[in-house]
Each structure stands twice: as C-alpha cells, then as structure tokens.
Amino acid sequence: MNIKRRWFITLTIASFSLLLTLILFAPLLAVHDPLAVQMNSVLQPPSSAHLLGTDELGRDVFSRLLYGGRVSIVVGAAAMLVSVAAGVLYGAVSGLVGGGIDRLMMRLIDALLSIPSLLLMIGLQMVFPSSLLSIILVISLTSWMPIARLIRTELMAMKKDVFIQASTVIGASPFQLLRRHMLPQCTPTIIVLAVSGISHAILAEATLSFLGIGIPPQEPSWGNMLMGAQTHLLSGAWWLAVFPAGCIMYTILAVNFLGDRLQDHLAAPQFRKGDKNEWISS
C-alpha cells in the first residue's frame, strides 16, 4: 500500500469521525433549537448568528443539520443491523436445509425482488404509521433479500468443502456447523454487506423523506430538509439545499469508500488489490 493511498484513507476516516462526533454532540453544539420557528429571521443567508443560515420558517440550518444527521445515522445503522440479521438468518436456514424448502424460500426472494424497491417501500409505508421506527422497519424489510441470497450461495459452496464434511462425520449438528465453521467463514462477506447496507439505508431514508413519506416533516432529517429546499432553491436560497445534500453525499461516499477498503483488507492476501487502484467488486 503506497503512502498517498494510506494518507487518503486516514483523511476519510478522520473527517468521517469528525462528522460523527459533531452529530453525537449535537445538543452541545447546536446553539439554536432545531425546531424553534422564528418568523422574523426567515431564509437568512449564512452569517455569524446563523452559521449556515435559516430556512423558510426561520429555523437554524446548522442545528437542523446536526439533529438530522442523528436521524440519518440511526436509521442507517439500525436498518442495516435488522436487514443483515434477517438476511443472514434466512440465508443460513435456506442454505443449510436445502432441497424443496430452499427452492421455495428462494422463489419468495425472487418475488420480493421483482417488486421495485421504492414501490415496495411506499406500499409498506401505507401499512405502518409514519415514524422513525416504521422507516427503519420498512427499509430493512426491503433490503434483506440480496444478503440472504449471497449467504445462501456461500453456504451452498461451503457444504462441499472437506472441513465441513469432516465436521459432519464426527457428528457436529447443523447448528454447530453453522456457528463454529460456516458463519465465521462468512464474516468478511457479512461485514462488507453491512457497510454497503448502511449507505443504502441512508440513501433510502433521504429519498423517502424527500418524497414526503419518510420522517415526519417537523422532525429534521437530511432528506426532508431537502424537500423543503426544493421550492426555495429557485429563488436563490442555495444554503438550504447545498448543506444537507452535501452531508448525504459525503456520508455515502465515505461509507462506500471505507467499505471498499475494508473488503480489500478482509480478503485473503492473494486476492488483495492492494495499491493497484481498482474498484473491482462483484
């Protein structure tokens, strides 16, 4: 790994940690209340009083950005955890049991994947009342399928390996096989999927909130800040759109990039891309 590359990774990790710290300490850093409406200072450009300006209701953009970041990160992390857990469980059962049940389980995944994800999310949003919890549920319910499929494929391939057959011969139960041998082997895959799951969930939350069916409008989130910004952008209030969108893009880019490096780091040495600047991934 050359020095330039390592420097870039360090920079990404440092800046991303900074963003996370800012978001974590939002109550200390946000001078203004993110929900406080001030009709006498509407659509103010960035100034010393309002670091990143104010929105159409006079709310401080900087404070909303910090609190909105909490929503995005919480949704990203929670939705990822739920979908990875569900996907690994489903994939493991399908891959271990095999036969007719496996085929049926895979057809269910095919059916779910045939419904365009955003339509599925919109449909599910109709069933649950809109809240932070429902967003997390809806996003994780619509994103566990590829994970399950990948885990199942890995288990299927692993079943033919000699060390698994040997464990079966000495009497390991399917559960023991899974816990002691198969899942540890899948760890790199699971970690990489989890990281890409975070950026997927953050983008999904932003999209849903932007469309007005995500986080309720009074609560700030990066996505619904943009929804409000759409109308004022044309009249020149650029600060309403640039900062939330910048945060979304930066977070997704950083998470994707770190995931990519992590994948490389976790791969067996002979498959590492190392300093060859390549983004080959399946």
Closest CA to 185 of 144, 146, 145, 151: 151
Nearest-approach distance from CB 263 to other proteins, in angstroms:
14
Q: Which is nearer to other proteins, 30 or 202 (CB)?
A: 202
Residues between 143 and 202 that touch other proteins (CB under 8 A): 199
Among 63, 207, 224, 263, binds other proteins (CB under 8 A): 207
Element (H, E) at 81: helix 61-97
Nearest-approach distance from CB 219 to other proteins, in angstroms:
18
Q: Which is nearer to other proteins, 85 or 242 (CB)?
A: 242
CB burial string 209-235: b at 16+ within 10 A, e below: bbeeebbeeebbbbbbbbbbbeebeee
Nearest-approach distance from CB 210 to other proteins, in angstroms:
5
Among 2, 40, 270, 277, binds other proteins (CB under 8 A): 277
Among 3, 234, 268, 269, binds other proteins (CB under 8 A): 234
Q: Which is nearer to other proteins, 29 or 254 (CB)?
A: 254
> Which tokens is 20 given?
């996370």
Give the Cα separation of 135 and 188 in Å (integer): 27
Q: Which is nearer to other proteins, 1 or 249 (CB)?
A: 249
Give the Cα separation of 217 and 221 in Å (integer): 8
Q: Which is nearer to other proteins, 2 or 40 (CB)?
A: 2
- Confirm or reject binding of residue 225 to other proteins (CB under 8 A): no
Proportion of the chain in helix, strand, coil states, percent, rounded to 5: 70, 0, 25
> Which tokens is 80 given?
């990822």
Nearest-approach distance from CB 206 to other proteins, in angstroms:
6
Nearest-approach distance from CB 170 to other proteins, in angstroms:
27
Piece in contact with other proteins (CB under 8 A), picked from 27-35, 65-73, 110-118, 173-181: 110-118
SS (H, E, C) 183-228: HHHHHHHHHHHHHHHHHHHHHHHHHHHHHCCCCCCCCCCHHHHHHH
Interhelix angle for 183-211 vs 117-127, to 10°?
70
Residues between 111 and 130 that touch other proteins (CB under 8 A): 111-120, 122-123, 125-127
- Confirm or reject binding of residue 4 to other proteins (CB under 8 A): no
Q: What is the DSSP letter of 270?
A: G
Enumerate binding residues for other proteins (CB under 8 A). 104, 107-108, 110-120, 122-123, 125-127, 199, 203, 206-207, 210-213, 226, 230, 233-234, 241, 245, 248-249, 252-253, 256, 276-281
